[in-house]
Amino acid sequence: MTDKKFDYDLFVIGTGPGGEGAAMQAAKGGMRVGVAERYTQIGGGCTHWGTIPSKALRNTITATTRALRNPVFREMGINVSPTLEQLKRGTQTIIAQQVNMRQSFYDRNQVPVHFGDAKFVDQHTVTVGTDCDPIRSKHFVIATGTRPYHPEFVDFDHPRIYDSDTVLDMEKKPATLSVYGAGVIGTEYASMFRNLGVKVNLVNTRDKLLEFLDDEITDALSYSLREQGVMIRHNETVDRIEGLDDGVILHLKSGKQVKTEALLWANGRSGNTENLGLENVGLEPNSRGQLEVDEQFQTKVTNIYAVGDVIGYPSLASAAYTQGRAAGMHLLGQRDGNLRIHDIPTGIYTSPEISSVGKTERELTEACVPYEIGQSQFKSLARAQITGETTGMLKILFHRETLQILGVHCFGANASEIVHIGQAIMHQPEGQNTLEYFVDTTFNYPTMAEAYRVAALNGYNRLF
């Protein structure tokens, strides 16, 4: 029964994937739902500054460079160098399509969008912007996302210093670029700019790239980036950054100096929580502006949930949407579970791309699980030979006694699509989640999916 003390049963702050997932789930469950969005359009950072524009640009760069490398084009004398402006031209069209589609979700489910900055007044009340009455809601979901971390000693107003949001507004392709920070965002942009012919220095504050990945995949990525011409510098920490008229000098604490035409700061993100009025409801974010939640995405104030990048790891658009749905389900009392949030695949859009789900070799070894490995090298697949994208591998980790699939790791073209086949089998009931599925199944030929059969037989042959 509707509680007339409140304007809404649920009010969601932010319309990125996390906010959308929560709002749609609750609305379809019969709740009165409203949302707030501080930007002029819905979609959040995912649609406007992160996932969609960066992946659209990556796709254009990859497709264009692949075409220009085609021997037929070269034989015809086609040898052009597209500008960054030309490559970015289609991105706004894709963003507009995404906004229109997502707006239709809110319209169809009768979820009003309030534009403006939301701020808590108390546990059940927010204001949005300056021109509306306070809005009262029984529950809230905070899905405000993150923004690039800006340390005080970096002059982001300098025309040659960028973060992961502003780099998409870069007008002219630099000849050389330093990327400080070798996490997911840093490695993706290093790969993207190298494909454009830019000489890239990738400066990593740790001793290896993307430590959360399987070691063999990490090694393959490092080798591939170096082979493409990316200079990787591990275990380096910034001392200061000197912006000049003709470039940027990155001064490192090791004493090294790296001068390039431009610098991309890709070291960390901050939660968008500083102007939410959290002090009025007794919530305090951590030093990076992130909120702590429990398994059901509730903060310590039980009627206020938080989902998406604002709660930290894994900081993926896919995870945010699932978390939003899980919070909505918990509000509706439909489910106390969390929609497989512990088995969310990674998708890293380097060139080639990386995707994985489940355990790594390192984790299984530490847990003393008797596992075995099945591998398939893409260079042996007919489909990869046809497309010319032979760099990469598929790796299946399975229990050597039960044959249960424990992890799937993929590096190469279309990895983020290929991994879902393994993900689906991993989550079948016991006895049906084994290597035998891939050994016995007929795959279309030639396809990249055939890598599962090759890898499964490779692993099966290791058993004795």
Stated as kind and residue range, the H or E segment containing 232 is strand 231-233
C-alpha to C-alpha distance for 68 and 184, rounded to whole angstroms: 27
Instruction: Tell me whether residue 309 is annotated as binding.
Output: yes
Instruction: Tell me whether residue 183 is annotated as binding.
Output: yes
Q: Is 235 within 8 Å of 256 (Cβ atoms)?
A: no
β-bridge mates for residue 137, sequence order: 8
Q: Is 340 within 8 Å of 322 (Cβ atoms)?
A: yes
Query: Which runs of consecutive H residues, i.e. helices, occur in 111-234?
Result: 184-195, 215-228
Nearest to 135 by CA among 15, 11, 299, 301: 11
Instruction: Tell me whether residue 185 is annotated as binding.
Output: yes
Residue 431: both structure tokens together? 């006895």
Instruction: Tell me whether residue 113 is annotated as binding.
Output: no
C-alpha to C-alpha distance for 110 and 217, rounded to whole angstroms: 45
Instruction: Tell me whether residue 322 is annotated as binding.
Output: no
Instruction: Tell me whether residue 188 is annotated as binding.
Output: yes
Neighbouring C-beta atoms of residue 158, cutoff 10 Å: 16
Instruction: Tell me whether residue 268 is annotated as binding.
Output: yes
> Residue written as tokens 């084009």?
73
Nearest to 38 by CA among 144, 135, 163: 144
Neighbouring C-beta atoms of residue 121, cutoff 10 Å: 14
Instruction: Tell me whether residue 184 is annotated as binding.
Output: yes
To the nearest 10 degrees (0 to 180), the angle between helices 317-332 and 17-28 is 30
Per-residue burial over 82-115, b if 16 or more Cβ lie within 10 Å, else e, is eebeebbeebeebbeebbeebeeebeeeebebbb
Binding residues: 55, 181-188, 268, 309
Binding residues for FAD: 55, 309
Binding residues for NAD(+): 181-188, 268
